[in-house]
Homo-oligomer: A and B are copies of this chain.
Amino acid sequence: MHQLVTIDMEKDLLEANRRLANENHRLLKARGIRSVDLMGSIGSGKTLLIERISMLLKDRGHRPGVITGDVAGDDDHKRVSALGIPAVNVNTGKECHIDAHLAEHAIEDMDLGSIDVLLIENVGNLVCPADFPLGTDKRAVVISVTEGDDMIRKHPVIFREADVIVINKSDLAGVMEVDLDVLKRDANTVRPNSRVIVTDAKHGVGIEELMEALGLI
């Protein structure tokens, strides 16, 4: 009985999330704003990728805005704001992902008239965000070579949700003794025909290719 109630509630929850995600998407489209949900593991370099993408977008005359999601703190929000990019911080407390409802409030707090691209940095986690689309045009998952070459096959669900799979910190593949081909092969097994982009955010490598894959340029 307990089990049944749990399953029903989970179904309700996911259905409610999907409804809210659709509303978020309609709102962003109506304002002509393209959007990306950047999921990925802790310390995989999501914030630096967002900083790089935002600066390149600005160079091209676009107006990026960022929602930074974390369990606690405002480290990422401070980093993005310091670049002069409109940013809204979301703290999820004990939740391990942003959901469409939290995203909706963050979008309300964003000055939508001042942006044409919205980048959402989800909480660092390769499990929880998978089930909770936020209403963005694209979803991407970022991993880092520093996590080893078994990350994709250990977390198939979230990679099946990803329009784009990003393998970051490629400059460290040698020192970490990680085989990029294993990660690429696993990506293609879990999500055939996915776009797999190798980046080195620290040195600005692969960023434009990633922006193109995300439909931002």
Contacts and interface: CB of A to CB of B under 8 A. Distances in A.
A83 interface: no
A83 to B, nearest CB: 17
B124 A126 contact: yes
Contact of A151 (B12, B43, B128): B43
A12 B3 CA distance: 12
A156 interface: yes
Contacts of A94: 127, 131, 157
Contact of A41 (B6, B9, B41, B153): B41
A74 to B, nearest CB: 10
Size bracket, chain A contacts: 35 or more
Nearest to A47: B148
A72 B154 contact: yes
Interface in A40-72: 41-43, 70-72
Interface in A104-130: 123-128
A153 to B, nearest CB: 5
Contact of A154 (B70, B154, B175): B70
Contacts of A2: 12
A5 interface: yes
A155 interface: yes
A71 to B, nearest CB: 6
A43 B127 contact: no
26 contacts: A41-B42, A42-B42, A42-B155, A43-B146, A43-B147, A43-B148, A43-B151, A71-B126, A71-B127, A71-B154, A71-B155, A72-B155, A72-B156, A72-B157, A73-B150, A75-B150, A94-B131, A95-B127, A96-B125, A96-B127, A125-B125, A128-B128, A144-B146, A146-B146, A172-B175, A175-B175
Which 4 pairs between the two chains have the least Cβ-Cβ distance?
A43-B147, A146-B146, A96-B127, A75-B150
Interface of A: 2, 5-6, 9, 12, 41-43, 70-73, 75, 94-96, 123-128, 131, 144, 146-148, 150-151, 153-157, 169, 172, 175
